[in-house]
Structure 1
Amino acid sequence: MSVKGGKTGPEAATAESPLRKGPTDAVLRASIWKRIHSHRNLYFLFIPVFAYFVLFKYWPILLAWVVAFKDLQLGSGVFRSEWIGWQNFKDIFYSPDIPNVIRNTVEISLLRLAVGFLPPIILAILFHDMATRRLKKWLQTFVYIPHFFSWVIVYGVVFGFFSVGFGFVNNVLSGLGMERHEFLLDSAWFRPILIGSALWKEIGWSTIIYLAALATVDAQLYEAAVIDGAGPLKRMRHITIPSILSVVTFVLCLSLGSLLSAGGEQILLFYNDAVFQTADVIDTWVYREGLARLQFSLATAVGLFQSVIGLGLVIGSNFVAKRLSGRGIW
């Protein structure tokens, strides 16, 4: 079949058919606005959520960056206070207390991580492998409850155990003919009591994320392993741990990001003058120097410093985790 110009077959179809073009920017914009208009009721419902995050999450972050570089005066407000640049950060690092404060913070945070990281994983695996569902629910409830106690209640429990006058531990020591000991006033015992009480409070709640990960593991893998003769330890090594390794990496990276946050609320309740040199951390220093003395800019500068270091630690730990295991947060 001949066509005009002497071309036939596919060549003629190609010559006469126009080039296909994608939608223009105007068409795309019109399509987006059309979809927004069709779902306008959902967007109206989203407005309060958006306003909440802007007003109570992102706006305070912006104010914190501004206040950290100003000499905040309550009468002048944030934006009319004097801009002093890096002076707040200089005051922080020129303080004679800061080396001891940072050392205590890092040491206590590393102790929390070393002592408190593996027990929730082990407990979650034990819960996952538990055959009796009713017993499993009771035990989970029992270990979850301490998470909902305030630190004031936790300190009351600790005081009831370790008080020199009527504490359970000292009563046992006295009954055995041993001398009572001031555990709560002893620097050597402060950190073990601090870390132990924090572990007791949070170990159950920390298992939830691992139990959620274990719930996604295919049960047929365990059944096949049992048929092949794999015992509980081999099943845990070759199925359970690899299945939750990405979650473990995620939690570890986020935990490293809070290395400069040693649990100030708990320490404020637990520490005293006798253990001050061992217990003073960044959060307690901020409370004492920044809030008690109304140096709000100084306290904000410390918070900004913690945030920047935490972000760097999260990014660094994620990079290392991806290089070593191929898994990371993103």
Structure 2
Amino acid sequence: MSETWTTTSIPDQHGRVAVVTGANTGLGYETAKALAERGASVVLAVRDVKKGEQAAARMTGDVTVQALDLSSLESVRAAAEALRSRLDRIDLLINNAGVMYTPKQTTRDGFEMQLGTNHLGHFALTGLLLDLMLPVPGSRVVTVSSTGHRIRAAIHFEDLQWERSYSRVGAYGQSKLANLMFTYELQRRLTPHGTTVAVAAHPGMSSTELARNTPAALRLPLTWLAPLITQTPAMGALPTLRAATDPAVLGGQYYGPGGRHEVKGHPRVVTSSPESYEVAVQQRLWAVSEDLAGVTFPVVQPTRSPSPGSAQAGV
């Protein structure tokens, strides 16, 4: 694979439909913009419709807006219903939106905010839209994780919602680990269908609004180091774009920046933490997520469990 993959490497996307969450700013905006410029019909699924419309106006191509608040399962269901009423297929579902290092708070459904938004909201949305993807050859679910998934690398089933004690950094790490485990288990369940694949990506260290809740103790050092360790949102979006469009991508792969420590650089296949590959934990998280989100996927657990990245190439 080329180590200098850029937006010019994106194949023609005419005829493809892409839904990108959190696409009014940052990584989501750059992802949606690049896909639209290559010909895809792009839906910006965003919490603030006005900001989404302003973002769409700055893009070229076929770009529309859909209201979506991932911190509310009611909103997720309403958005899925609206998308189903207007679309007859989805080629790309890009689960990009997220929150990071938020103070202790819960979603409208009572879930810890970072787990509820970053994982459970996207889990529910994917499950509700997946039957629009399964008949589409080459369709992909791309979920954006983070190097932060290595922080306290565990799913804390004994206190999943951080009710006993709260660490904003630890809760973020759990939510991003959940993103990866969701991807790997989803790919395992998609393999028998032979059409849709699940892929993950992370942006490295990118300068976006996502870091606005960074704890004060970390904020000043990061400000000093930012010129050395961060990259633009456009560069940070490249791993997601490669995961979504490179014909050589395999289901279950994980893409990130190719530079030192994966903080910046052109996208390539990377590996996640050892904990993220624990199949039993993936499957337990899936069962818990179905129960919490109230969503059952139109795919079932296979009798055999192929390892991530071993499934099939995208089209």
TM-score, normalization by structure 1? 0.22
More strand by share: 2
Using CA pairs under 8 Å that are at least 6 residues apart, name the structure with larger relative contact order, 1 or 2: 1
Of structures 1 and 2, the larger Rg is shown by 1
